[in-house]
Structure 1
Amino acid sequence: MTFFFHRMFSYCPSKPRNPLLKVLVGLLGLALLLVLVGFGLVIGLGMLLFAGARRLFRATRRPAAPPADVIEGEFTRVRDPHSPLHLR
């Protein structure tokens, strides 16, 4: 069992020895990174645009009115404002 974990976690892929292949693999990695970053930016901007459009359409659909359901109740003061622990 220990041998399996040692083999699994000690894997280290080697770089190609050919200089042209090294450059090609590096450019391929950079292109993949740029594609993933661009894809993430497009998805993020799409989400922001969708949220902004939804908020805009909801604001125009109904007028801004105060809420009709008011909850009434009583309250008591828990802490005296003149106590020594009162911070301003």
Structure 2
Amino acid sequence: MSFFFHRVFSYCPSKPRHPLMRVLVGLLGLALLLVLVAFGLVIGLGMLLFAAARRLFVATRRPAPKPAADVIEGEYTRVRDPHTPLHLR
């Protein structure tokens, strides 16, 4: 059993020796990278468009906010004049 694990975990892929195969493998890797980037961009833009559409839909469905019923009224006095300097005399 330990021979099987040693064989699986000691595998080290190497580049092909033939120059044309090296170019083909490199182009295949580049194509795979471009496909994954494009797929990620499409998914990201889809998520952004979905969030924007949902926000617009919820905003049009939501009723106008009602004014607050519990208003506390009171009197106030101004503690200091805003035009006086703050330094001590």
Q: TM-score, normalised by structure 2?
A: 0.67
Percent identity (aligned): 85
Counterpart position of 1:74: none
C-alpha distance in 2 between matches for 1:40 and 1:64? 38
Larger Rg: 2
With structure 1 as the length reference, what TM-score do the two structures score?
0.68
3-state SS, counterpart of residue 13 of structure 1: coil
Give the structure 2 partner of residue 47 of structure 1: 47
How big is the shift at 1:38? 0.7
Please say if 1:31 is aligned against 2:69.
no
Structure 1 segments, 4+ long, off by >3 Å, are none
Give 1:13's aligned residue.
13
Counterpart residue identity of residue 54, structure 2: R
Corresponding residue SS for 1:65: coil
CA RMSD of aligned residues (A): 1.7
Equivalent pairs, count: 67
Amino acid of the residue matched to residue 36 of structure 2?
Answer: L
Question: What one-letter code is carried by the residue in structure 1 that aligns with 2:56?
Answer: L
Q: CA offsets, 1:1-44, max 9 Å, x none?
A: 21111111111122211111101110110110110111011011
